[in-house]
Amino acid sequence: MLGSVRAMRSTERAEPPKTLRRAVCPGSYDPATNGHLDIIERAARLFDEVVVAVLVNPNKKGLFSIEERVEILREITADLPNVRIDSWRGLLVDYCREHSIAAIAKGLRSVSDFDYELQMAQMNREISGVETLLMSNNPAYGFVSSSLVKEVAHYGGDVKNLVPRVVFERLSAKFGHPDR
């Protein structure tokens, strides 16, 4: 006699999780690249809700203002219904605490990324318990970083295939090159 305990039939669905699984994709996004977008899209498939947070670094004057970065991110993620964009000044884990976010999702391009990301992940977990999910980057964008994109675009190099269309147009406008 098995009592009331029985195995779940394959046709039955597991109970949905009671809490919303929410993650944050933090970054400077100055500007967002195809590599960033790839990670955001993949995180959006793993979590119920993803917040892309533009972190304000008061010591770094970026090329794009925080408002521009947010605007660009809104535009390029417009087709992802469970993604929203925000900005934050301060500790990332304080943002997580205020918005009930249990996980940070980030992309890893290389071992040099890994050293830095692991250190931050360990620090964030130590001071708050927030976990970090490090996702392997699409190798097609392994060499793409916001700073290299800006440098190449500054000198008129072609970054068309490395960034979303809107970013390419805005870079061309900023540096006075035609958006071919």
Tell me the catalytic residues.
36, 60, 109, 146
Of 174, 122, 146, the residue nearest 27 (C-alpha):
146
Stretch touching ligand PNS by CB under 6 A, among 9-17, 24-32, 37-45, 128-136:
24-32
Write out the two tokens for 54: 């533009």
Give the residue, chosen from 28, 33, 77, 132, that forms a contact with ligand PNS under the rule CB under 6 A: 28
Site residue total, ligand PNS (CB under 6 A): 9
CB of 28 to ligand PNS, least distance (A): 4
Q: Residue 133 gets which letter from DSSP?
A: E
Based on CB atoms, which residue is closest to ligand PNS, 32 or 171?
32
Q: Which of residues 113-172 bind ligand PNS (CB under 6 A)?
A: 120, 123-124
Stretch touching ligand PNS by CB under 6 A, among 4-12, 22-30, 135-143, 156-164:
22-30
Give the residue, chosen from 26, 35, 107, 164, that forms a contact with ligand PNS under the rule CB under 6 A: 26
Residues recorded for the chain: 180
φ/ψ (deg, to 5) at 108? -115, 120
Q: Does 108 bind ligand PNS (CB under 6 A)?
A: no
CB of 113 to ligand PNS, least distance (A): 9
Cβ count within 10 A of residue 121: 18
Distance CA 132, CA 23 (A): 9
Alpha carbon 144 to its chain centroid, in Å, reads: 14
φ/ψ (deg, to 5) at 7? -70, 150
Q: Does 35 bind ligand PNS (CB under 6 A)?
A: no
Q: Does 55 bind ligand PNS (CB under 6 A)?
A: yes
Of 162, 148, 158, 163, the residue nearest 180 (C-alpha):
158
Based on CB atoms, which residue is closest to ligand PNS, 47 or 95?
95
Distance CA 115, CA 75 (A): 32
Residues that bind ligand PNS (CB under 6 A): 26-28, 55, 91-92, 120, 123-124
